[in-house]
Amino acid sequence: MSYVFMPPAVPSVAVHGRADARFAVRRIYCVGRNYVQHAQEMGFSGREPPFFFLKPADALLPVGEGEVGTMHYPSLTHDLQHEVELVVAIGAGGREIAARDALSHVFGYGVGLDMTRRDLQGEAKKQGRPWCIGKGFEESAPIGELRPAADCRIDADTEIRLDVNGRTRQRGTLGELIWSVPEVIEHLSRAWTLAPGDLIYTGTPAGVAAVVPGDLLAASVAGVGRLELRLV
Ligand code: MN
């Protein structure tokens, strides 16, 4: 068997402490409005059930630890916004996974940015159209190195934060998640069969705002990692 053209490389993310092996990515799931104050800043109560959207796997923009990645300002938008998120990496697949079993399916965690063409997303919402054009464009999913779950120390007090040009824009704790990581996996695995290589961007705290070329973004989840990115 051969292909009519060379298949693209499998998107992948570095694993902290594993210079020999990368995490091959299959799908990128994202949770919408998973922090109360962010849901409120988007005009909702924060009490809705969780909902999901996807980004293509090749929207990933992996950035190594200690590096400053480069993201190109995307086309069509005048309102590119940042959303810092805890990313869950699935290591063991399954469907209808119960919340109490969910953490055994987690390979590790990382820091991600759900970059959003907010003006296009807003127009899609207004028209009742899909969000793809606002959410699923090239380089829309920057991500730092993954850290194996056993090496992460995360709990309700863990800080999630985004600084732009040294000024804090978003700051919250993982305890503010409306739907916890096990609950997200439970809901998600009812709708889709999860598989090794799936990433879940778990939602963003309040403070989303626009960035412009030249901005330096520094995203972090304490005990998990850090991601630095220059927008050009
Ligand atoms: Mn998001």
pTM over 0.95: yes
User: What CATH code is carried by the domain that includes residue 210?
Assistant: 3.90.850.10
Establish if 107 belongs to a structural domain. yes
- 1 alpha carbon – ligand 1 mean position (Å): 40
- 16 alpha carbon – ligand 1 mean position (Å): 24
Question: What is the rounded distance in angstroms from the CA atom of residue 34 to the CA atom of residue 43?
Answer: 13
Establish if 111 belongs to a structural domain. yes
Tell me, what's the pLDDT at 114? 98
Establish if 149 belongs to a structural domain. yes
pLDDT along the chain (232 residues), means of 10: 95 95 98 89 81 97 96 98 98 98 98 98 96 98 98 95 98 95 97 98 96 98 97 98
Establish if 145 belongs to a structural domain. yes
Count of domains for the chain: 1
Establish if 2 belongs to a structural domain. no
Establish if 217 belongs to a structural domain. yes
Tell me, what's the pLDDT at 98? 98
Buried b / exposed e across 102-123, counting CB within 10 Å, b at 16+? Answer: beebbbbbbbbbbbbbbbbbee
Residues with Cβ within 8 Å of residue 114, at least 6 apart in sequence: 30, 55, 83, 85, 135, 140, 141, 201, 204
Tell me, what's the pLDDT at 46? 73
Tell me, what's the pLDDT at 39? 84
Establish if 6 belongs to a structural domain. no
- 201 alpha carbon – ligand 1 mean position (Å): 7
- 151 alpha carbon – ligand 1 mean position (Å): 25
Burial class of residue 185 (count of CB atoms within 10 Å of its CB; 0-12, 13-18, 19+): buried
The SS3 assignment for 125 reads helix
Domain around 225: 12-231
Establish if 199 belongs to a structural domain. yes
Tell me, what's the pLDDT at 218? 98
